[in-house]
């Protein structure tokens, strides 16, 4: 956002709202002026273009993405960050599986984790569903697209899906 063409006032407003976990839709609602408010603004400032009209979607998205990258990256390199996340999850009591198969033409990895509250739910299920989300990140091994798999069980009380495990891999 430093390189943005938006005025400093707009950049500061975007930063403040991203820091308050607002997304673009919420910010759009906050930026809307009624027709009467806009007329009043233009009467008081006939030569000023309203700053809120200069806030662009891409500026908001860029700031959100950079904030998420800072929060999710635990180290400078992706490989070190993955190792730091594995340590963190293990210290928090998660069961973690991490394996890298770098033999052969195609290098593959798998990182899977399940929390202590999810494990008993998973173990007593007869059926599970797996949802795959494509292109969630890029492999630290070979820069190929990765996939996030979510294991979901049906909650017997609410009859709704409950996520009980996660896996990231660069191979379907």
pLDDT in tens, the chain (172 residues): 555 677 788 888 888 888 888 888 888 877 776 777 777 767 777 666 666 677 888 888 888 888 888 888 888 888 888 899 999 999 999 999 999 988 877 888 999 999 999 999 889 888 899 999 888 888 888 888 899 999 999 877 888 888 999 999 988 7
Sheet of 95-101: strand order equals: 95-101, 108-114, 161-169, 145-154, 129-138
Statement: the pTM of the whole predicted model exceeds 0.85: no
pLDDT for position 48: 65
Rounded to whole angstroms, how far apart are CA atoms 139 and 142? Answer: 6
Residue with tokens 């993405």: 65
| Two structure tokens written together for 14 | 């975007």
Angle between helices 24-31 and 8-19 in degrees, nearest 10: 130
pLDDT for position 28: 80
pLDDT for position 156: 76
pLDDT for position 140: 81
pLDDT for position 47: 65
| Two structure tokens written together for 81 | 């960050």
């Amino acid at each position: 956002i430093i390189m943005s063409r938006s005025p400093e006032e707009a950049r500061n407003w975007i930063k403040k709202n991203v820091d308050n976990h607002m997304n673009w839709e919420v910010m759009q609602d906050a930026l809307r002026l009624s027709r009467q408010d806009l007329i009043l603004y233009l009467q008081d400032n006939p030569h000023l273009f309203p700053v809120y009209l200069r806030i662009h979607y891409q500026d908001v998205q860029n700031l959100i993405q950079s904030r998420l990258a800072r929060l999710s990256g635990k180290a400078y390199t992706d490989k070190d960050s993955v190792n730091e996340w594995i340590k963190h999850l293990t210290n928090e009591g998660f069961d973690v599986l991490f394996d890298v198969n770098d033999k052969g033409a195609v290098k593959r990895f798998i990182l899977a984790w399940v929390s202590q509250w999810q494990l008993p739910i998973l173990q007593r299920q007869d059926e599970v569903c797996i949802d795959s989300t494509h292109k969630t990140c890029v492999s630290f091994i070979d820069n190929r697209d990765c996939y996030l798999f979510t294991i979901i069980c049906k909650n017997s009380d609410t009859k709704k899906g409950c996520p009980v495990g996660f896996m990231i891999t660069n191979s379907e």
